[in-house]
Amino acid sequence: MKKSTIITSSKINNQKIKLDFQIQSIERDIKRAEQSSRWLENWQPEKLADLQAELRTKELEKAQLEQSILSGLTSVLALVNGRAQAYTICAEMLIDLAHEFEGTMEDRGITVKNRAGAEARFRPAGKSVAHSPMGRSITTYVVMRRVHDGWRLIHAERDYCYDNQREFMEVVVRPCAHENMIRHATRNFSVWDETPNDELMA
């Protein structure tokens, strides 16, 4: 991969939120129009048709935004995975992973401003079998980077996972993010200046 590919983007997500709000507003207007004959008399039936056309336009805009991310990821992963599908990573899974890693950093107490620069490395688990592991399957190994705007795919390669092999997951963060994690994990805890004597521990 010569350049990164968008997985998630706060800019695109904000556009989707705005479109969702507009779509809901138009749907409410259409519902009111359909339920009120007086409204139809005042506004004319053409207004209802205009609202329905506007709704279709906004829904199409939202679909195109979503597809803009999916198509880029799909193209990259198709080159890596080839025909293999069963144990490889697809575009939708990659987006879910980005949200999962974002949630993990949130749970560990990493502030938003300190998340940029983190890298997440992932490879799915192997096939689950009852007998001793013998075979292996084609899978995908990916490296994702958190930037200020969201997550980017910076590396993807074909890999192999053996039967019953656990998934591989590693997140590398900046020192300031690690400090956030330590502060979060030790919140409300302090350390004795000196080791308590036996009486205090009895």
Q: Which of 165, 127, 159, 125 is nearest to 142 (CA)?
A: 159
State the residue range of the domain holding 145: 5-185
96 part of a folded domain: yes
What integer pLDDT is reported at residue 39 of this predicted model? 54
145 part of a folded domain: yes
134 part of a folded domain: yes
199 part of a folded domain: no
202 part of a folded domain: no
Name the token pair of 42: 């005042």
48 part of a folded domain: yes
Q: How many domains does the chain have?
A: 1
Number of neighbouring beta carbons within 10 Å of residue 58 = 19
> Is the overall model pTM greater than 0.85, yes or no?
no
Per-residue model confidence as pLDDT tens digits over 82-141: 998 889 999 999 999 999 999 999 999 999 999 999 999 999 998 888 876 678 899 999
What integer pLDDT is reported at residue 129 of this predicted model? 84
What integer pLDDT is reported at residue 42 of this predicted model? 63
25 part of a folded domain: yes
Per-residue model confidence as pLDDT tens digits over 131-188: 766 788 999 999 999 999 999 999 999 999 988 889 999 999 999 999 999 999 999 9
Is pLDDT above 70 for 201?
A: no
What count of Cα atoms within 13 Å lies in the side-chain half-sphere of residue 68?
A: 14
Q: What is the rounded distance in angstroms from the CA atom of residue 113 to the CA atom of residue 192? A: 32
Q: What is the rounded distance in angstroms from the CA atom of residue 191 to the CA atom of residue 188? A: 10
Per-residue model confidence as pLDDT tens digits over 42-82: 656 777 788 899 999 999 999 999 898 999 999 999 999 99
93 part of a folded domain: yes
